[in-house]
Amino acid sequence: MYSKILVLRFPQTEVQKPIVCCLARNYDLVFNILNATVLPRKEGIMVLELSGSRKNFNEGVQYLKSQGVSVQNASQEVKRDNDKCTHCGACTAVCPTGALSVKRPDMTVSFDQGRCSVCELCVPACPPRAMKIRPINNSFF
């Protein structure tokens, strides 16, 4: 059994389609949705664990891509460089999962990596570029 955690990004036009159900039915894959968010621009992001035979897994990923879905190995993570963070709060406005939030009363910005879906929206939103994408390993599709 081959299994990986993937980050899927659905374009606005595909958010309502049952793409993941087709993926399971047509490629005999098992999925476990770990996180799903529809962003303000209506782009959808889903983090899911996908399991099956290696052949079916690869064919399923190709199917997702053919549907316009961006597929990324979740072996990336987002880290904050605490030395660079000025606690300006800009990232909290774009973070869809609440991983970045303002703590009261001192108004510092905390980063809870366990809630991070690796959507990367905070990376360009951070003025001093404190938020970084880091590969956990080098396997990408």
Residue 64 in contact with ligand SF4, rule: CB under 6 A: no
Q: Are 72 and 28 contacting, i.e. CB atoms less than 8 angstroms apart?
A: no
Give the one residue of 9, 94, 101, 132 binding ligand SF4; rule: CB under 6 A.
94
Give the one residue of 68, 124, 128, 135 binding ligand SF4; rule: CB under 6 A.
128
Q: Are 31 and 24 contacting, i.e. CB atoms less than 8 angstroms apart?
A: yes
Residue 100 in contact with ligand SF4, rule: CB under 6 A: yes
| Token reading at 43 | 């782009």
| Token reading at 116 | 């991070």
CA–chain centroid gap for 67, Å, is 18
Piece of 8-16, 17-25, 65-73, 91-99 that binds ligand SF4 (CB under 6 A)? 91-99
Residue 35 in contact with ligand SF4, rule: CB under 6 A: no
